[in-house]
Amino acid sequence: SPRKSFDIAVIPGDGIGKEVMPEGLRVIDAVAERFSLDLAYRHIDWASCDYYDETGSMMPPDWRPQIGECDALYFGAVGWPARVPDHVSLWGSLLKFRRDFDQYINLRPVRLFEGVPCPLANRKPGDIDFFVVRENTEGEYTALGGRMFEGTERELVIQESVFTRTGTDRVLRYAFELAQSRPRKHLTVATKSNGIAVSMPYWDERADLMAQQYPGITVDRQHIDILTARFVLQPTRFDVVVASNLFGDILSDLGPACAGTIGLAPSANLNPDRLFPSLFEPVHGSAPDIYGKGIANPVAMIWSGALMLDFLGRDPTCPDGERYRRAHDAILSAIETVLAKGPRTPDLGGAARTEDLGKAIAELVKTID
């Protein structure tokens, strides 16, 4: 049957990124074997503080041609604050990828699993199952503005927000399409048009226009203040939540926090037009405090790999996309089983090691449905 092959840049980075990456690859190898996926890895040792120590920069000058033609970047974590300041390591690698590859969607699934203690009272698995879709390139995060009359009584500071029609519509479109693909077909639009009186009414207006093209989707517009309260008090009401850069930043940490440990949360930075590679990474960082002990939870890395396979399989030029989606589903089922039955790493109250979880999940994906 016809096939398509995908090139994946594998970038472990720093700290526990180097410990969880082998487990991510172990699981991907296992599903690739089972579902006949055609994946080629390009192993990258830069975008790390080790590389910085040797060379004085985070990446080689030709980093872009080296990975720009790949279909995806599978990324561990970057940062080692004792050796390299965080703004140097992050701006010198990860944030360059996000910007230069126009990864305008930041996607975070939020799900409560059996076997994972929930910080919210009386919630059971199934109650929390939604996506946060964050705009990742513009909005409130700009370098536009300045200071005048500095140091005087008239001191004045202005920081601009930017909402382009292109930037607004493309993130809304992605969120509506995602909601359309899910059984509940429910979209929550985060706004603050009662307080931010220029950009947020525009955001609402574009969302209303877009909604006319998706009559099957119920749209619920909520101001960001009450919306954050509802993440905690009524998490069952969410299916897909779309937000500007700043609001999405907050929601995309709050969401996973409502569903348990940071060692589980995955994320995708997507260029849905596939003009550039998309990036898949755990939400957590390099965790210097536990690095070297072999106890990091690899689930966030493994789940990020599942998101990557799902995204690759939806490439319109991929004739066997169905197999990639089945691979994603098998990984999720295996994660579900391991979280419920163990083994468990110390962050989940167990004594298992990183590779024990990786091996257990890799074994399960060979047969699970």
List of residues 6+ apart from 92 with CB closer than 8 A = 52, 57, 58, 59
Q: Is 170 in the site for ligand NAI (CB under 6 A)?
A: no
Least distance in Å: CB of 103 to ligand NAI? 13
Task: Enumerate residues 239-258 that contact Mg ion by CB under 5 A.
Answer: 249
Q: What is the 3-state secondary structure (H, E, C) of the chain?
A: CCCCEEEEEEEEECCCHHHHHHHHHHHHHHHHHHHCCEEEEEECCCCCHHHHHHHCCCCCCCHHHHHCCCCEEEEEECCCCCCCCHHHHHHCCHHHHHHHCCCCEEEEEEECCCCCCCCCCCCCCCCCEEEEEEECCCECCCCCEEEECCCCCCCEEEECCECCHHHHHHHHHHHHHHHHCCCCCEEEEEECCCCCCCHHHHHHHHHHHHHHCCCCCEEEEEEHHHHHHHHHHCHHHCCEEEECHHHHHHHHHHHHHHCCCHHHCEEEEECCCCCCCEEEEECCCCCCCCCCCCCCCCHHHHHHHHHHHHHHHCCCCCCCHHHHHHHHHHHHHHHHHHHHHCCCCHHHCCCCCHHHHHHHHHHHCCCCC
Least distance in Å: CB of 227 to Mg ion? 17
Task: Enumerate residues 66-105 that contact ligand NAI by CB under 6 A.
Answer: 77-81, 86, 90, 94
Least distance in Å: CB of 142 to ligand NAI? 21
Q: Is 108 in the site for ligand NAI (CB under 6 A)?
A: no
- Number of chain positions touching ligand NAI (CB under 6 A): 23
Range in contact with ligand NAI (rule: CB under 6 A) among 108-116, 198-206, 295-303, 331-339: 295-303
256 binds, among ligand NAI, Mg ion, none (CB under 5 to 8 A by kind): none
88 binds, among Mg ion, ligand NAI, none (CB under 5 to 8 A by kind): none
Site string for ligand NAI, 122-161 (x = CB under 6 A): ----------------------------------------
Q: Is 297 in the site for ligand NAI (CB under 6 A)?
A: yes
Nearer to Mg ion, 102 or 249 (CB): 249
Range in contact with ligand NAI (rule: CB under 6 A) among 33-41, 56-64, 222-230, 283-291: 283-291
Q: Is 281 in the site for ligand NAI (CB under 6 A)?
A: yes
Least distance in Å: CB of 331 to Mg ion? 25
Of all residues in the shown chain, the one whose CB is closest to Mg ion is 249
Q: Is 23 in the site for ligand NAI (CB under 6 A)?
A: no
The whole-angstrom separation of Cα 50 and Cα 148 is: 41
129 binds, among Mg ion, ligand NAI, none (CB under 5 to 8 A by kind): none
Least distance in Å: CB of 8 to ligand NAI? 18
279 binds, among ligand NAI, Mg ion, none (CB under 5 to 8 A by kind): none
The whole-angstrom separation of Cα 158 and Cα 167 is: 22
Query: Which residues contribute to the site for Mg ion (CB under 5 A)?
Result: 249
Q: Which residues lie near ligand NAI (CB under 6 A)?
A: 16, 77-81, 86, 90, 94, 262-263, 281, 284-290, 296-297, 300, 347
